[in-house]
Structure 1
């Protein structure tokens, strides 16, 4: 009797255990579903940079040489970005965001850089003329373009304007 019970249990266990080939297919499908969920790229969302106010400048924790990007050529406009040799600032949704300069990027006026990175964004300031190379003159205005990319390297903001630099 004991032998019959053991044999019945073995037959039942064999019937319940999945076919190795079927289990491999199910595992492969599960892994593919997880990978697809993790690699899903959300829809592109345009970014609205906000102008930096005088109060924003007072909250920035450093002074010295800097360049600021201004939209167009409007003298009274506020800056959309401030670039310093080690870091830069932008403002999104009323929040100041600090970016770190990419020391491997092109040198820009007064020791600033052409590329800055943040947690979810990268910002590039590109001169619009070939003769806008890095300079150490105390004051200068360079035609430039500001390009912001999201973490998937998609352009979420781009504008032409001026990069105004001053050694303070």
Structure 2
């Protein structure tokens, strides 16, 4: 967007030559409107690019050493029940276009089970994981489950993925 600025600035500077007969006050108002338009263009957010997180399989967990105590989020729309996010006390992991993306724990935010956190931040995304209140249900030994919501935002804080699902925590 910075490359467009010189061309716009030149157009704004040449504008008075095209509008002869304006009083100084009218010209000042016109200039202010033109500057406001340029500033609005320069500060506009790009449209969000939706994400499509992929399932993190048991093979992915083994190959990338993603195991250990923490939580996973299983989206209602994901077949097979594999998580699309794994969280630990230090990081969250997403799989996007076949590559793993790691986000750091925001330890100033809300705490989740097993020392995990509700908010994680990365270079291009941040995610928020919310769970229903209460003690959760126990589908198996050393596991708890809650209804939950995952929201992923881009680097300009626009929602690029959101899903209801299940938060599952265990060791």
Question: What TM-score do you get using the length of structure 1 for normalisation?
Answer: 0.69
1:143 aligns to 2:162 (yes or no): no
Give the 3-state SS of the residue equivalent to 1:142 in structure 2. Answer: strand
Cα distance in 2, alignment partners of residues 153 and 74 from structure 1: 25
Q: Any residues of structure 2 matched to 1:9-88 within 5 Å, and which?
A: 39-61=43-65, 63-72=67-76, 76-88=80-92
1:89 aligns to 2:115 (yes or no): no
How many pairs were matched up?
A: 138
Is contact 1:110-1:138 (8 Å) kept?
A: no
Shift, 1:42, TM fit: 1.5
Spell out, residue by residue over 1:6-27, the C-alpha distance to the aligned partner (whole angstroms, 9 max, x if none): xxxxxxxxxxxxxxxxxxxxxx
Cα distance in 2, alignment partners of residues 102 and 70 from structure 1: 21
Cα distance in 1, alignment partners of residues 81 and 68 from structure 2: 21
Give the 3-state SS of the residue equivalent to 2:168 in structure 1. Answer: strand
Gaps of 5+ in 2: 1-33
1:74–1:150 distance in 2 versus 1, CA, 3 Å: closer
Is contact 2:86-2:93 (8 Å) kept?
A: yes
Is contact 2:86-2:92 (8 Å) kept?
A: yes
Cα distance in 2, alignment partners of residues 99 and 74 from structure 1: 21
Q: Give the RMSD, CA atoms, in angstroms.
A: 3.0
Shift, 1:58, TM fit: 2.1
Gaps of 5+ in 1: 1-28
Name the residue aligned to 2:167.
163
Of residues 129, 134, 145, the one that matches 1:131 is 134
1:74–1:120 distance in 2 versus 1, CA, 3 Å: closer
Cα distance in 2, alignment partners of residues 104 and 66 from structure 1: 18
Shift, 1:71, TM fit: 1.1
